[in-house]
Amino acid sequence: MAFASIFVPDFMVQAVVRAEPGLREKPVAIVDGNPPLVRVAAANEKARLAGIEYGMSKLNASQFGGVEIRARSAAQEKSTHAALLDIGWSVSPRIEDSAPDAIVLDIAGLTFLFPSEEEIAARLVRLSQECGWTAQVATAANVDTAWIAARGFRGITVIPAGREAEMLGRLPVGALSLSLEISETLHRWGIHTCAALAALPVEELSTRLGQPGILLHTLARGARSRSMAIAQTESTFEEEMELDDGVEDLEPLSFLLGRLLDQLCARLKTRSLAAASIRVRFELEATFEGGPVAPVGQTNPRGTYQRDLQLPVPGSDSKMLLKLLRLRLQGDSPGAPIVRIMVSAEAARPRAAQGGLFLPTFPDPEKLELTIARITHVVGEENVGSPALLDTHRPGEFQMRRFVARPEGASANKLAAENHFPAAAAASFRIFRPALPVQLELRNHQPARLIFQGKRGEVLTASGPWRTSGDWWREDPWDQDEWDLEVRFPSAVKREKAGADSGKPGEPSGERGRYRIYYDAVRQSWFVRGIYD
């Protein structure tokens, strides 16, 4: 059996520093409590060297020049702990969620994947650094020894089986997480290290300290053996940030979103996953309650703003995700100062990069999504996509669907396309949206002249009426008589007359047009639907 433990020293500080990488090299003190009793709850080593002590008031701490003081962030601690678990699951499926700042992994059998326990520990340290904090890692033959060694030793510690007592013996007894009472007792006895504690006779220790004494003696010798309490695998990825002051402008908001997305993508990468969709949720300042109306199908409590970003292919590029979110927010801003940001990702397996050798070129899905988002910002969301016909006879009905480039089935279709060139073009139609009103003059029940868009035309040939109706059960039924017309406009007539005067036959004019008009029985008017072109 082999176990590894990851411990994040100064957890409260590192959770805050993870969200503000600029603080990494500075002395930082974390304060907690309700005013006026705001006290220092944690400090990093540089702050402690500068003179910051636990329990010091915020006012006192702020008098130490150069020490950055931040409020404790439960949201950041929660995100950091979730990221710590992700690092563990990236290496082993068996994890014990020991404490907010430490986990234990079962690494038995992983030597098939990693050459040694040192390699495993080094990987855990590297992953921790990628996620934004420094960690202490220890491996040992039992759970508690690994856990104690991770807390007690800096960097990477590998304890070979059988040398637990020797290695733990160097640690102070405080590494065993003693109660205050036992700690004072051992201090009075002159017991300062685990080696000294392990050298005490266990019967005598039991007489004086009871069962806790025996447990501490076993732990100090590295001889305790117990089973792990396995944590359930989580597939939710969420990062959040609380803001002291409301943020309203897009620029500072993008900066904060960028940080959260960096953290989220780093977590996804540690689990070898990618984001299939991103959900961003803002809590708005209380004075702006009752902000945007919830979209259909989404619950949107008052004072919150929530948007989903569906990705064409799962991605974990935080810069690309930030660009997409920015474009989305530019066109649909929250409209109120934001005091809390939550970004969550729906995880999926990442896209395989290998494409077909003989497939035609197609836009890179991630780049295409960015291009579509930019175009959407120009023309509107409802005006970009792929048209899809609906199962209805109502003229001109279609819907816009999300466009996704799919390069499948190329070869057979390509052969078909290359070998089949029709001799005649298929007639195409252009639609006037909305339909143009037209003044129509009938002669013998047939269209004879029409006036629309300020032009007066003579109908040469008419085909119709072709009557359609439907949707009588809806509020907007249709009942129309359609006509196909060939129309000649006056300028064309004059030109033909001029041609006849000069002895030449009337040459075909570009001012002829073939239109489709219809009589709308519901609105009792004539309209031009479009033109054959």
Partner 1 sequence: MSARAATLRRHCETLLAGRVSSPFDVRNAPSVETVSAGIAPIDRLTGGLPRGSLTEIYGPPSSGITSVLVSALASLTAASEVCALVDARDSFDPHSAQAAGVRLEQLLWIRCRNVDQAVRATDLLIQGGGFGMIALDLSDIPPQAVRYVPLNVWFRFRRAVENTPTIFMICEQESTAKSCASLVLRMETQEARWRHTEPSRQEHNGTHTPGCLLDGWSNTAEVIRSRARREGWISEHLISASVGAGVNSDGSSIDFETQALWSLHSFAKSVGKNGKVLSAGGPPPR
Give residues 364-423 in contact with partner 1 (rule: CB under 8 A).
Answer: 364, 367-368, 370-372, 374-375, 378-379, 383-389, 393-396, 398, 400-401, 403, 405-410, 413-414, 416-418, 421-423
Q: How far is the CB of 460 from partner 1 (least distance, A)?
A: 8
Q: Give yes or no for a cis peptide into 422 (omega within 30° of 0).
A: no
Q: How far is the CB of 373 from partner 1 (least distance, A)?
A: 10
Which of 421, 473 has the CB closer to partner 1? 421
Enumerate residues 6+ apart whose C-beta is below 8 A from 99.
none
Which of 184, 397 has the CB closer to partner 1? 397
Q: How far is the CB of 295 from partner 1 (least distance, A)?
A: 22
**Strands 338-348 and 274-284: what pairing?**
antiparallel
Which of 165, 462 has the CB closer to partner 1? 462
- Residue 474 in the binding site for partner 1 (CB under 8 A): no
Distance from C-alpha of 132 to C-alpha of 82, rounded to nearest angstrom: 13
Residue from 32, 97, 248, 511 touching partner 1 (CB under 8 A): that is 511
Q: How far is the CB of 47 from partner 1 (least distance, A)?
A: 49
- Residue 201 in the binding site for partner 1 (CB under 8 A): no
Q: How far is the CB of 421 from partner 1 (least distance, A)?
A: 4
Distance from C-alpha of 400 to C-alpha of 389, rounded to nearest angstrom: 9
CB atoms within 10 A of CB 368: 16
Element (H, E) at 309: strand 304-315
Q: Which amino acid is residue 14, in one-letter code?
A: Q
Residue from 210, 252, 355, 360 touching partner 1 (CB under 8 A): that is 360
Span from 120-128, 312-320, 327-335, 480-488 in contact with partner 1 (CB under 8 A): 480-488
For 253, the token pair is: 């908001």
Which of 7, 519 has the CB closer to partner 1? 519
Distance from C-alpha of 303 to C-alpha of 274, rounded to nearest angstrom: 30
Residue from 63, 207, 272, 463 touching partner 1 (CB under 8 A): that is 463
Span from 26-34, 93-101, 193-201, 459-467 in contact with partner 1 (CB under 8 A): 459-467
Binders of partner 1 among residues 421 to 450 (CB under 8 A) are 421-433, 442, 444-446
Which of 279, 374 has the CB closer to partner 1? 374
Q: How far is the CB of 9 from partner 1 (least distance, A)?
A: 47
Which of 218, 446 has the CB closer to partner 1? 446
Judged by CB under 8 A, how many residues of this single chain contact partner 1? 82
Tokens 């003696």 locate to 217
How would you class 162 by CB atoms within 10 Å of its CB: exposed for 0-12, middle for 13-18, buried for 19 or more?
A: exposed
Tokens 């051992």 locate to 186
DSSP 153: S
Binders of partner 1 among residues 304 to 323 (CB under 8 A) are none
Report the chain's C-alpha Rg in angstroms.
37
CA-based nearest residue to 252, from 326, 166, 197: 326
- Residue 362 in the binding site for partner 1 (CB under 8 A): yes
Span from 106-114, 150-158, 317-325, 361-369 in contact with partner 1 (CB under 8 A): 361-369
- Residue 468 in the binding site for partner 1 (CB under 8 A): yes
Q: How far is the CB of 275 from partner 1 (least distance, A)?
A: 21
Q: How far is the CB of 321 from partner 1 (least distance, A)?
A: 17
Q: How far is the CB of 433 from partner 1 (least distance, A)?
A: 5
Q: How far is the CB of 512 from partner 1 (least distance, A)?
A: 6
For 228, the token pair is: 């792990």
Q: How far is the CB of 520 from partner 1 (least distance, A)?
A: 10
Distance from C-alpha of 445 to C-alpha of 467, rounded to nearest angstrom: 15
- Residue 472 in the binding site for partner 1 (CB under 8 A): no
Which DSSP string corresponds to 77-102?
A: HHHHHHHHHHHHHHH-S-EEEEETTE
What are 211-219's contacts with CB under 8 Å, separation 24+? 212/179, 212/182, 213/182, 216/173, 216/176, 216/178, 216/182, 219/144, 219/148, 219/168, 219/176
Which of 174, 395 has the CB closer to partner 1? 395
Which of 358, 473 has the CB closer to partner 1? 358
Distance from C-alpha of 56 to C-alpha of 154, rounded to nearest angstrom: 27
Distance from C-alpha of 232 to C-alpha of 88, rounded to nearest angstrom: 12
Determine the Cα angle at 401 with ends 414 and 236, to 5°.
Answer: 105
DSSP 351: P
CB atoms within 10 A of CB 363: 14
Distance from C-alpha of 331 to C-alpha of 325, rounded to nearest angstrom: 10
Which of 160, 360 has the CB closer to partner 1? 360
Span from 48-56, 210-218, 223-231, 525-533 in contact with partner 1 (CB under 8 A): 525-533
Q: How far is the CB of 237 from partner 1 (least distance, A)?
A: 29
